[in-house]
Amino acid sequence: MESWKILVFGGTGYIGRHMVKASVLYGHPTYVYTRPNSTHTDLLQDFQSMGVILVKGELNEHEKLVSTLREVNVVISALAYPQVLDQFKIIEAIKAAGNIKRFLPSDFGCEEDRVSVLPPFQKFLNKKKAIRRAIEAAGIPYTFVSANIFGSYFVNYLLRPYEERDDVTVYGTGEATVVLNYEEDIGKYTIKVATDPRTCNRVVIYRPKTNIISQLQLISLWEKKTGRTFKRVHLPEQQIIDLSESLPDPENIPVAILHSIFVKGVTMNFDLGEDDIEASTLYPDLQFITIDQLLEIFLHNPPKPFSAAFA
């Protein structure tokens, strides 16, 4: 069996930390490229205690990048939005190193090559698409991952369980369906597909049937779990569009994302064909946490809210 050594960029970030932990869980030698002045000291210490090799450096240190890449054969980038275009530096270093067998760029959201969204979000996705095209043009073996919606992040955002509120904001009609996946599962499946020959030079979509739900269904399920009743306050689609046009950049980006996901349902508005790979069909022994199970986690040990960085 081939040995995989995995390097993660953005390993201290919201989703990257789950990939690092999953890589260790599956027994892969795991490296994290981190800034010398990183403030995530506790997390980095946890990584070290797990056996993770920390490499301190900046993305503009080409020679350091190349020498680090030559120690591994799989690269996963989980860099946040403000650093998306910095991945061109990783691509150049991969080309110089010449030994990387798989690169997963920082996608992990909706399938950007198959959706149409509001301009602020489209501008966001165009940067990710540019990275994909550069990887393809360079002939770097890749896997593009569409992990869809981070379950804990958006359950916190939509239901706000940390707040004592009797109302819930519903974006649009609340009837569009979305795919909500637990972040720990995204980490595990990403490590699996990163080292799977079946997923080389393919797009892998995380769309398990158990995790497809509408806002209204999610609220109803949460009401059953908690025994509470919430007033549904609808934010009309046109008001969301207007906000995306009037708010300054980058404040307009999350508004456009909400519209695309929860009003237009972009994670579910295209069918999967014979050439598509859906992650849950690849590994029969690995099951996604269902939405019902995710809400049970929120009921007993709720994950802390998190806010994504767009600047």
Question: What is d(CA 272, CA 4) in angstroms, rounded to the nearest whole number?
Answer: 30
Q: 267-304: buried (b, 16+ CB within 10 Å) or exposed (e) per residue?
A: bbeeeeeeebbebbeeeeeeebbbbeebbebbeeeebe
**Contacts for 143 with CB less than 8 Å, ≥ 6 apart:** 102, 103, 104, 193, 194, 199, 200, 201, 202, 203, 204
Residue 154, phi then psi, degrees to nearest 5: -85, -25
Phi-psi region of 227 (alpha: psi -120 to 50; beta: other; left: phi over 0): left
User: Using the 8-state DSSP alphabet, how is residue 114 labeled?
Assistant: G
Instruction: Give strand pairing partners of 94.
Output: none
d(CA 275, CA 284): 19
Cβ 239 vs Cβ 172: under 8 Å: no
- Cα 6 to Cα 207: distance, rounded to the nearest angstrom: 25
Burial of 158 (0-12, 13-18, 19+ CB in 10 A): buried
**Where are the alpha helices (H) located in the chain, listed in sequence order?**
16-25, 41-49, 62-69, 87-97, 119-138, 151-159, 183-194, 215-226, 237-246, 252-258, 291-300
The span from the CA of 288 to the CA of 8, in Å, is: 22
Q: Residues with catalytic annotation?
A: 128
